[in-house]
Amino acid sequence: VTNGNCPDIKPTAPLVMNYGRVGKAIYPVGSYPADVHGLYDLRGNVAEMTKNETVAMGGGYRTRADGCTDVAAQAYSQPATWLGFRPVIQIKKTH
């Protein structure tokens, strides 16, 4: 999972997500507040693998802020400290 929650990414916005920290590390989930949709940790920290085995999205702790967006793609070919995944489940309402 990732660790940044800024709906409008601005490279000058300090500490809104874990980004631009070359040589540093990831942060625990929940280190930043939820975004406007109530979702936690969608941008920064680690880029997320997708169903395309060579593409990661979202940027990571080594990425500049302008690369931590929903549409920022990065290529990868092997495991990396800036790369992760997000499990997703659908919760059905019972009433």
Start-end of H helices in 2-80: none
DSSP code of residue 79: -
**Half-sphere exposure (Cβ direction) of 86: Cα atoms closer than 13 Å:** 20
Contact 22, 81 (CB under 8 A): no
Which residue in this structure is represented by tokens 């500049």?
64
Q: What is the pTM of this model?
A: 0.65
Decide: helix, strand or coil at residue 66.
helix
User: Tens of pLDDT along 36-84?
Assistant: 777 776 777 888 899 999 999 888 888 887 888 878 898 999 998 889 9
Q: 87 falls in which pLDDT band (50, 70, 90)?
A: confident
Which residue in this structure is represented by tokens 């395309």?
52
Please report, for the chain, the start and end positions of each structural domain, with discontinuous segments joined by +: 1-79
Q: 91 falls in which pLDDT band (50, 70, 90)?
A: confident
Helix, strand, coil content of the chain in percent (nearest 5): 5, 15, 85
User: Tens of pLDDT along 5-35?
Assistant: 444 444 444 434 666 665 577 877 777 777 7
